[in-house]
Amino acid sequence: MDLDACVEGVLAADRTWLGRAVTLVESTRAGDRAPATELLHRLLPHAGGARRVGITGVPGVGKSTFIDAVGTSLTAQGHRVAVLAVDPSSSVSGGSILGDKTRMPRLAVDDAAFIRPSPSSGSLGGVTRTTRETMVVVEAAGFDVVLVETVGVGQSETAVADMVDFFLVLMLPGAGDELQGIKKGVLELADALVVNKADGANEVAAQRAVRDYRAALAITAPAHPRWVPPVLAVSAIEGTGIDQVWGHVQAYFRELADDGELGRRRAGQQVRWMWAMVDDLLRDRLRASSEVQELADRLEQQVADGKVTPAAAAAEITGALFR
């Protein structure tokens, strides 16, 4: 691929080049890694200008309906919206569900929107890396809002919270039982809690859920000392409450950008990302060396048999890696 043309094409927001650039970044072929790195290096100075918002919630809570509603409202106001997804399970189930265009019918045909399903490259680390890098590409192409969708299970929520500025947790009405089950960790990550499906017969339950979540949040350590996460009820399907949610997101950016908190948050994320990549690279190197791998296999057996201590084996493996 002609990298110069690709960089120019992406900066000009040419959709064909945008698609090619993301495909290159997502590629797991060994030969694609160097050009992908070079491309990202050249796009990076043009990235960073978007509001990055993560959206999580259990399957069926209404993530895609909500993103379709928010995204359409934003593009109508002149924003350009990219929707990315992190779903490491998609490689297991064989097909991505998150970021599927058919789930966001209005945004899918919107010229000011770009939707990319979750890469199915396997491990959470791999999927996270790809999504972060795709974020660089879409930001360089001038998308000023990036929505990152993830499922409300496992480690992917933490991973997404650590690549966005604002983390929004979607909830279902009927809190009573659910409040018991809600992971405390998710409340700690949330910059806003949004109870969806506050319409029809659910309306009363949704308002009760809002009160319950407010009470729960009051005794939870906030993600930021200066930001009290709002709890709101919306109906993604009817479009009610959607603009209020975005109003809070904007207020957050005003508050935190003003005193440099946003910059500090991003700087911390970059450094953590660097160390995560160091971990990945070390693991790759370990696997790439057949000598180390043989040693590791042997030591694994000896540790399992209780003949060698884990500490001694670990020292030997890392010693061999750096020899």
Which phi and psi (to 5°) does residue 164 adopt? -125, 170
Q: Is 232 helix (H, G, I), strand (E, B) or coil?
A: strand
* Sequence-ordered list of residues with C-beta below 8 angstroms from that of 43, at least 6 positions apart, any chain: 7, 10, 11, 21, 136, 137, 140
Minimum gap (Å) between residue 85 Cβ and ligand GDP: 10
For ligand GDP, which is the closer residue by CB, 7 or 69?
69
Minimum gap (Å) between residue 170 Cβ and ligand GDP: 7
Minimum gap (Å) between residue 60 Cβ and ligand GDP: 5
For ligand GDP, which is the closer residue by CB, 138 or 195?
195
For ligand GDP, which is the closer residue by CB, 153 or 303?
153
Q: How far is CA 261 from CA 187, 188, 190, in A?
A: 20, 18, 16
Q: How far is CA 240 from CA 42, 67, 298, in A?
A: 41, 13, 61
Q: Using CB positions, name the residue nearest to ligand GDP.
A: 62
For ligand GDP, which is the closer residue by CB, 63 or 248?
63
For ligand GDP, which is the closer residue by CB, 103 or 248?
103
Minimum gap (Å) between residue 197 Cβ and ligand GDP: 4
For ligand GDP, which is the closer residue by CB, 54 or 62?
62
List residues near ligand GDP by CB under 6 A.
Answer: 57, 59-65, 103, 196-197, 199, 235-237
Contact between 276 and 125 (Cβ < 8 Å): yes
Q: In angstroms, rounded to a whole number, what is the distance separating the alpha carbons of residues 43 and 10?
A: 8
What would the two tokens of residue 318 be? 């890392």
Q: What angle do CA 264, 265, 270 make, to 5 degrees?
A: 95
Minimum gap (Å) between residue 64 Cβ and ligand GDP: 4
Beta partners for 145?
A: 51, 81
Q: In angstroms, rounded to a whole number, what is the distance separating the alpha carbons of residues 167 and 56?
A: 8
Q: In angstroms, rounded to a whole number, what is the distance separating the alpha carbons of residues 1 and 25?
A: 12
Q: How far is CA 68 from CA 20, 102, 185, 196, 251, in A?
A: 24, 10, 27, 14, 22
For ligand GDP, which is the closer residue by CB, 216 or 237?
237
Minimum gap (Å) between residue 100 Cβ and ligand GDP: 9
Minimum gap (Å) between residue 240 Cβ and ligand GDP: 8
